[in-house]
A and B are shown apart, each in its own frame.
Chain A
Amino acid sequence: MEILESTEGNIQIVKLEGRLDAPNTEKADDFFSKKIVATQENIVVDCKNLDYINSSGLRILIMGLKNMNKKNLKLILCNLQKNIKDVFHFSGFTNLFNVEYDFEAAINEAKN
């Protein structure tokens, strides 16, 4: 799995590419823990090229969401592939997260 970082104005962009599976759990956990401690801005996670996620991956994102909430910041997801959307839906996580249809909508949400 690749994790690519960029910014759009002040907004922090994180692109996840490939598979957030068991072998990549530690890498992703490490990344998000540090990123969320450090950030003073909202984060948009672009999942366009994220092909796979399991419950450990979900756990990382939900911990991230909890910690962003504590800082009064937003963690916004966008561009979820169908299967990934199903994983969120069946876990009951969809309505907890701020999930936007596309990148532009996510950026607009992050600006508000």
Chain B
Amino acid sequence: MKNQIINIKSRVSGIEIMNQKLAKICEEWKISKDVAFSMNLALEEIVTNIIEHGYKGVEDYDIIIRFTLEKDKLRIQIKDGSPEFNPFDVEEPKDFNAPVEEREIGGIGIHLVKKFTDNFTYRRGNNKNIITLQKNIE
């Protein structure tokens, strides 16, 4: 099992550092391009959500991200100290077939997280939101 941890600030430059770190890890751990894409997407959607809704755009909070490689899966754990919130509880967008003028754009991000990962969990512990994303490695 391999592990790496980074601590980013709740701002766009934090996401940039996070994306670069993930790319580097995927290269080092020989993760396929498709898995790297899926996990980058899921991770960005979760962290963007935390920054915009959890931390309300305040830029100085911490988000701790732990990357773990197991035999057959890549796992990413995201921990933040914003108010308790389970993003997976939010209702899915209903109007997937509505005409473009009527489409609600919100809610798509979390829907993508669910589609692009093999497993996702939320729990509250130690006054932190703890989200885990998992993707099987072919």
Enumerate chain A interface residues (CB-CB to B < 8 A): 19, 21-23, 26, 52, 54-56, 58-59, 62-63, 65-66, 69, 82-83, 86-87, 90-92, 95-96
Interface of B is mostly: helix
A92 near B105: Cβ-Cβ < 8 Å: no
**Segment of B71-79, B80-88, B108-116 in the binding face:** B108-116
Enumerate chain B interface residues (CB-CB to A < 8 A): 12-13, 15-16, 19, 34, 37-38, 40-41, 44-45, 48, 93, 96-97, 99-101, 103, 105, 108-109, 111-112, 115-116
B103 near A96: Cβ-Cβ < 8 Å: yes
What CA separation (Å) do A40 and B34 show in the bound complex?
38
With A54-B45, A90-B116, A92-B93 given, name 11 new contacts (CB 8 A): A21-B40, A21-B44, A22-B44, A23-B13, A23-B19, A52-B41, A55-B112, A58-B108, A69-B100, A82-B34, A83-B37
Whole-angstrom distance between the Cβ of B5 and the nearest chain A Cβ: 20
Q: What residues of B have a CB within 8 angstroms of the CB of A54 in the complex? A: 41, 44-45, 48, 109, 112
A-B pairs, 7 with minimum CB distance: A92-B96, A55-B109, A90-B115, A23-B16, A22-B15, A83-B37, A55-B108
Whole-angstrom distance between the Cβ of A29 and the nearest chain B Cβ: 13
Whole-angstrom distance between the Cβ of B81 and the nearest chain A Cβ: 20
